[in-house]
Amino acid sequence: MFDFIIPFLVLILVVVFIHEYGHYYFAKKYGVGVTDFSIGFGKEIYGWNDKSGTRWKICMIPLGGYVKFFGDRNVFSQADQDKILKQYSEIDRKKLFVLKPLYQRALIVAAGPFANFILAIFIFMSIYMFIGKDFTPPVINEIKRDSPAEIAGLKKNDMILEIDGNKVESILDVSKLIMMSTTEYIDFKISRYDKDILLKIKPKIIQSEDNLGNKVNKRIVGITLIPYNNEINHVKLGPIKALTHSVSEVYFVCSSSLKYLGSMISGSGDTSQLGGPIRIAKISGQVAEFGIIPFLSMMAYISVSLGLINLFPIPLLDGGHLMFYGFEKILGRPLSQKTQEGFFRIGMFLLLSLMFFATFNDLKDLGLF
């Protein structure tokens, strides 16, 4: 387990720093005072003060971070503007987050998640430009007997064009799209003798091991693939194409994650695959052994996930604050402190429940349950 700690810390430090720097950058842009920029929680391990008085620090528990604004006393202070005006001088009021215009507060809060998306796009772009992206069309080489693919009508030499409406750009996309599907049937669009054919395939779910040796519930259809004309097409992209494909990959991760969340809520999703910090630490260490490119790719995916989760309209997350600002825009005033407290209790319960469930899966994955 100790072999996984350093890759995990590097991943978390980078992803969390970028997230918090998004908040910090827009706070400074709009004149908000920032007293603390912390990576981690708990006791400070190392820190320093910059010229503006911000305390930059690394703390004991590396499972997140925060930016603390000048004058912040509690999460409900937006409803206490009259009290705040009496406590601060005119100069200090200009540095208070809660007195900034609504659009500025919304941008400061949203900047954290969007910084995570930008980091992921930057990583994907760098890989596509300097390492390359695979565009090898997948052709079916073998159909296993009595498999879902054979039952549905797939045949040898069929070329796979789309899976669940997602364009298959390379042979590597096929297993990813099958694994990420959440519905009972998977839609395949294939090319056979220059004709496009649509087929619905009901995958089997088996317990297997991924490429890292971790136990997973795997969706299979029973096919093996070969490159079209037995030629690998790996291409280094220019900046514009790299950016386009990077944005598309971020969108795919977000949409797939939301579909997976929806399937869990409806009861049809595989909740055993939901993991927390322990599983992330384990996988990050395993991926790091394969080299810097797979590790950077994982960092990009984790960054997208962190940005997306923080946009959920749950109090205590950035999306919860944006939800409150939406109410403020509609009502013309902030929600009362009592109402906000009620929302935050619900948010705390939801987050603690999610953390408990994810940690339980992590411990079960380690064989402790």
Residue 211: CATH number of its domain: 2.30.42.10
DSSP secondary-structure letter at 13?
H
Number of domains in the chain: 2
The reply to whether 184 falls in a domain is: yes
Q: Where are the beta strands (DSSP E) in 32-164?
A: 34-49, 55-69, 133-134, 138-143, 159-163
In this prediction, residues 44-55 reach a mean pLDDT of 93
Domain stop point among 235, 251, 274: 235
In this prediction, residues 337-361 reach a mean pLDDT of 71
Distance CA 30, CA 343 (A): 28
CB atoms under 10 Å from CB of 322, counted, come to: 18
Phi/psi for 167 (5° steps) reads -65, 130
Of 235 and 80, which is predicted with more confidence? 235
The reply to whether 294 falls in a domain is: no
- The verdict on 112 and 140 lying in the same domain is no
Distance CA 298, CA 77 (A): 37
Residue 369 has pLDDT above 70, yes or no: no
The reply to whether 63 falls in a domain is: yes
Among the options 20, 44, 90, 169, which is catalytic?
20
Put residue 267 in one of left, alpha, beta given phi > 0 → left and psi -120 to 50 → alpha: left
The reply to whether 220 falls in a domain is: yes
pLDDT at 147: 92
Indicate the range of 235-249, 280-294, 325-339 predicted with least confidence.
280-294
Distance CA 306, CA 32 (A): 24
Q: Which of 5-19, 71-85, 116-130, 316-330 has the highest mean pLDDT?
A: 116-130
* Strand, coil or helix: 196: strand
For β-strands 138-143 and 234-235, DSSP reports them as unpaired
Mark out the alpha helices in 131-238 (DSSP H runs): 148-152, 171-180
Residue 31 has pLDDT above 90, yes or no: yes
Distance CA 227, CA 212 (A): 24
Distance CA 344, CA 324 (A): 11
For β-strands 195-201 and 215-220, DSSP reports them as unpaired
| Catalytic residue flag (residue 20) | yes
Domain stop point among 179, 205, 235: 235
The reply to whether 137 falls in a domain is: yes
The reply to whether 266 falls in a domain is: no
Distance CA 344, CA 350 (A): 10
The reply to whether 228 falls in a domain is: yes
**DSSP H or E stretch at residue 187:** strand 186-192
In this prediction, residues 186-203 reach a mean pLDDT of 93
pLDDT at 90: 77
Structural domain span for residue 153? 133-235
Query: 273 near 216, Cβ under 8 Å?
Result: yes
Domain stop point among 218, 235, 252: 235
Phi/psi for 358 (5° steps) reads -65, -40
- The verdict on 6 and 125 lying in the same domain is yes
